[in-house]
Chain A
Amino acid sequence: MAAAARRISSLLTRSSLLLSHAGRNARAGSGVSRFSTAAVAEELIVPPVQISYTQHLIDGKFVDAASGKTFPTYDPRTAEVIAHVAEGDKEDIDRAVSAARKAFDEGPWPKMTPYERSRILLRFADLVEKHNDELAALETWNNGKPFEQSAKAEIPMLARLFRYYAGWADKIHGLTVPADGNHHVQTLHEPIGVAGQIIPWNFPLILFAWKVGPALACGNTIVLKTAEQTPLTALYAAKLFHEAGLPPGVLNIVSGFGPTVGAALASHMDVDKLAFTGSTETGKIVLELAARSNLKPVTLELGGKSPFIVCEDADVDKAVELAHFALFFNQGQCCCAGSRTYVHERVYDEFLEKAKARAMRRIVGDPFKQGTEQGPQIDSEQFQKVLRYIKAGIESDATLECGGERFGSKGYFVQPTVFSNVQDDMLIAKDEIFGPVQSILKFKHLDEVIRRANQTHYGLAAGVFTTNIDVANTLSRALRVGTVWVNCFDVFDAAIPFGGYKMSGIGREKGIYSLKNYLQVKAIVTPLRNPAWL
């Protein structure tokens, strides 16, 4: 995108997106099904929200970057700039860490009763509910995900996650521990200190909750770096958090880029813990920076190439719908996307035909429009990357069943794309594409599919579609992944832990397991004189 095109958006005064579709005959004879030919000019809906917060949030105050610099943030529907946001760097991280340090060392946050902390988290959840539609509109505007998904699922989930963690705050139990001799032993589960958190752009507020929720419930203070693509909603949410009574310095947010802000946070000597969600490539850097600085413990939730396995007993219609959802949800921008669809040979042909038909029916368009299933990809880089992978798929002789091109002529829309005859060694079956590209593979035996499903350096999630209890149990245990969804997918309850095996990451988020990331364990031992029992 030319920089010139990135001027401040005129969205509030109407801009439009020409949703032209690739011509039916564009690749005549290729056998590839295309989307409707009619070039439809569609008015873009004006997001019903103002952008009020674009500065860093440090020590309870919105402040400019130390350097005074800003960077633009975009509407992925149009590639137009919607705001300029403070661009953080090392100095901003230093300031934020120092505020978080002070708030941790001097209080009041970790010194409050857990009940008081839980009341603040609950009040925040109430405020999120009250501002549901503004948060949802901002999320969709900056990210491109369907507004209905933001408003009806993700923002309510944000509130729900904080209610969940509020309930943990007053139930964090240490243990009294048996000793071999006359000793009285206890463990204290103490807050770990200042947590550095780096979140991605695909679910900005949900991931905000996954990180901030447990850290605050445990009594920590935080420096959060949002993704440079989606800096807006976390600032809005944090503003609500302070309205709910969060003391200054407890939650600090610095916007900016990975190599500057992210690196400064990961290598900071005064940050006690780091949690990162993003690509495996960046995860490696984060881990390395932690190792080189102060050995802060690191939680990583990284990439995936998750198998979705459709067994021979499957109800094909249901399997198709679920496999479609597993891959295409959120424009395919999910770390756990079911991006390798393994289908048993007995149902393969029927599945393929129906999967293709389903993808063709997928409604792509303005995410603010009711009924839209798929909005634009997040940015130019991702958009180009997805198209490159599609090209690689075609070149590796996978069969392009439908889609394969950009959708429309503006913004970052990609046609829902289905490949069949995909082989395990093709790039599209090995790499994380992070876009609306479904790869369908055929299998014959259970042993075979287990071996093939596990043959990846990722291990985030898997889908299993069968009603056979023995097959379900065998697959559940055999797949080397952090989550197995049996006859469902993307079920993300607050209490269900999530995280990866292998190079999909380290540690678990959500559920009781997430608390461990933000607690130190201290053993206290003292001799017992003449104990009544041991």
Chain B
Amino acid sequence: MANHEQQSNGNGEMNQLKIPEIKFTKLFINGEFVDSIKGRNFETVDPRTGEVIATVAEGDKEDVDVAVKAARTAFDQGPWPRMSGFQRARIMEKFADLIEQNNNELAALDCIDAGKLFMMGKLVDIPAGAASLRYYAGAADKIHGEVLKSTRSLHAYTLKEPIGVAGHIIPWNFPTSMFLMKVAPALAAGCTMIVKPAEQTPLSALFYAHLAKQAGVPDGVLNVVTGFGHTAGAAISSHMDIDMVCFTGSTEVGRLIMQAAATSNLKQVSLELGGKSPLIIFDDADLDKAAGLALQGIVHNKGEVCVSSSRVYVQEGIYDEFEKKLVEKAKAWKLGDPFDPNTRQGPQVDKRQFERILSYIDIGMKEGATLLTGGKPWGSKGYYVEPTVFADVKEDMQIVREEIFGPVMSLMKFKTIEEAIERANNSKYGLAAGIVTKDLNVANRVSRSIRAGIIWINCYFEFDLDFPYGGYKMSGFGRDLGLNALHKYLQVKTVATPLYDSPWL
């Protein structure tokens, strides 16, 4: 099977040296690191080895209450929403500078906590996080309302006001990107907030809170409550004094959050949920590039990406050759210690995900799909899974219907553009899609036909600060990134007053 080079899983001496001292393990509320009220802690684990890295304060409902109170006070009486957008921007820029100064340490935290590639964090995720703060800092002084046209003699305008206290519940697959994707636009808008990082990856969020304080974000504006979904997460989504909740995670949990919002104070909800995103490769594609894109689409971040191209549709004219190339590339894909700069794929985030992925592989085989490559754990320690490709997949199989969240691809064949569109849309999800073709007409037609929030033509995973992204259908609603995300954190207020003797209307 796969000839992945066996190498260190993270217990080598060189790699031990890079593990930073864990400085922050308590809740961050009102500008201070504090223990949880109940005094409970939970363990966070290194997925390379399954060993405990640190014990972290376990926040619960009463901790969320204290954090909300701090955020409420900071919003109702504090300086943050009363500063000019420019003043907020200056603090956010400082925050960005501090992130860059602590790049190595932050990348190492995400590496040991989430099994993410160290170099990817250092070169991509962390700098992009700093850039997102700068992007929204640049938007903070450009929040325009409008002056309106009335049918009568009225002068009216809109004010874009910060929505208030925001609750952010973020996942473990991109601890840094997700934290800043939510926090940066909310800060720019003038909101105060509570962030609950995933219980698997609480460490970098606490470090970011520390840096925010150093940068001058006033106490109470940014609070971080580490803990679990059913306790801390539930307390946020059902809180009567939180004005909106933004969640990124599974569709299943998204539904719970929306329910909690509905049964509490009807807080606004923004959900960025699961996906089963299609990548459609047409006959005119450059085979080698297309195969590379398809593999990247499923193994990037070990397949723990909501927009993973987990359904790959290849037109029949090139299918056989494509399959050969893809398998070759998958077999050459290098797994290993995420600290090693040569490693392309680290371990899955935890035991639960690891077992879940393996069980899906099992299901795929039982359903009658053909395993072309992979299918097994890699190495003898930690939570590594080989890049796995299934062929002969039928549309009704579980592996093609459900989000696996691992390096497991379903490879399928199609004949016509109509068929590709129909099958690509045959999903309850609608997060992303990829198209590989040189034909302008095909690209344009498919772009409009796919019911998904982001379409990549001849590329994949091209996220950018200015590109809004989010889901159709059960992939959620609301958009992250871009100016759309900023407006999510703004209320619109219309102000109208009679107008006398105006020379024009």
Contacts and interface: CB of A to CB of B under 8 A. Distances in A.
Contact of A170 (B135, B140, B449): B135
Nearest to A217: B138
Contacts of A531: 444-445, 448-449
A477 B144 contact: no
Given A163-B89, A529-B445, A531-B448, A171 B502 contact: no
Interface stretch (B47-55, B103-111, B200-208, B493-501): B493-501
Interface string B133-146: 01101111110100
B320 to A, nearest CB: 28
Interface in B77-102: 86, 89, 93
A458 B392 CA distance: 77
A530 B441 CA distance: 9
Given A171-B466, A526-B440, A473 B138 contact: no
B231 to A, nearest CB: 39
B444 A528 contact: yes
B444 A170 contact: no
B465 interface: yes
Contact of B497 (A118, A473, A494): A473
Contacts of B500: 470, 473-474
Interface string A461-504: 00000000110011001100000000000000011000000000
Contacts of B155: 473, 477
Contact of B444 (A118, A163, A169, A526): A526
B444 A184 contact: yes
A530 B445 contact: yes
A52 to B, nearest CB: 29
| Residue among A115, A173, A478, A526 having the largest count of chain B Cβ atoms under 10 Å | A115
A171 B142 contact: yes
Given A115-B465, A532-B449, A167 B142 contact: yes
B76 to A, nearest CB: 26
A527 interface: yes
Nearest to B465: A170
Contacts of B466: 170-171, 173
Contacts, number: 88
Interface residues of A, number: 34
A122 B93 contact: yes
Contacts of B501: 446-447, 474, 478
A166 B440 CA distance: 34
A470 B499 CA distance: 7
A533 B444 CA distance: 12
Interface string A39-68: 000000000000000000000000000000
A164 interface: yes
Nearest to A160: B86
Contacts of A368: none
A295 interface: no
Given A118-B138, A166-B138, A469-B497, A512 B144 contact: yes
A351 interface: no
A529 B421 CA distance: 14
A308 interface: no
A441 to B, nearest CB: 21
Contacts of A526: 440, 444
Nearest to B155: A473
Contacts of B441: 527-529
Contacts of B144: 512
Contacts of A474: 499-502
Contacts of A512: 142, 144
B502 A118 contact: no
Contacts of A389: none
Nearest to A172: B466
Contacts of A494: 86, 141
Given A473-B499, A477-B502, A528-B448, A171 B440 contact: no
A171 B135 CA distance: 9
Contacts of A530: 445
| Residue among A167, A171, A184, A446 having the largest count of chain B Cβ atoms under 10 Å | A167
Interface in B403-440: 421, 440
Given A473-B155, A473-B499, A474-B502, A167 B449 contact: no
Nearest to B85: A495
B448 A533 contact: yes
A126 to B, nearest CB: 10
Contacts of A160: 86
A170 B445 contact: no
A407 interface: no
A527 B442 CA distance: 11
A173 B440 CA distance: 22
B39 interface: no
B281 interface: no
A168 interface: yes
Given A118-B134, A167-B142, A477 B499 contact: yes
B66 to A, nearest CB: 35
A153 to B, nearest CB: 15
Contacts of A118: 134, 138
B445 A470 contact: no
Contacts of B503: 477-478
Contacts of B440: 526
Interface in A148-179: 160, 163-164, 166-171, 173
| Residue among B86, B131, B139, B140 having the largest count of chain A Cβ atoms under 10 Å | B86
A191 B134 CA distance: 22
B372 to A, nearest CB: 33
Interface of A: 115, 118-119, 122, 160, 163-164, 166-171, 173, 184, 446-447, 469-470, 473-474, 477-478, 494-495, 512, 526-533
Given A122-B134, A168-B138, 10 more contacts: A115-B465, A119-B134, A163-B138, A166-B138, A171-B135, A470-B498, A478-B503, A494-B141, A531-B445, A532-B449
22 contacts: A115-B135, A118-B134, A122-B93, A160-B86, A166-B138, A167-B139, A168-B138, A169-B138, A170-B465, A170-B466, A171-B139, A171-B466, A184-B448, A473-B155, A473-B497, A473-B499, A474-B499, A474-B500, A477-B155, A494-B141, A495-B142, A531-B449
Interface of B: 86, 89, 93, 131, 134-135, 137-142, 144, 155, 421, 440-441, 444-445, 448-449, 465-466, 483, 497-504
For the complex of A and B, the 4 pairs showing the least CB-CB separation, nearest first, are: A167-B138, A532-B449, A477-B502, A532-B448
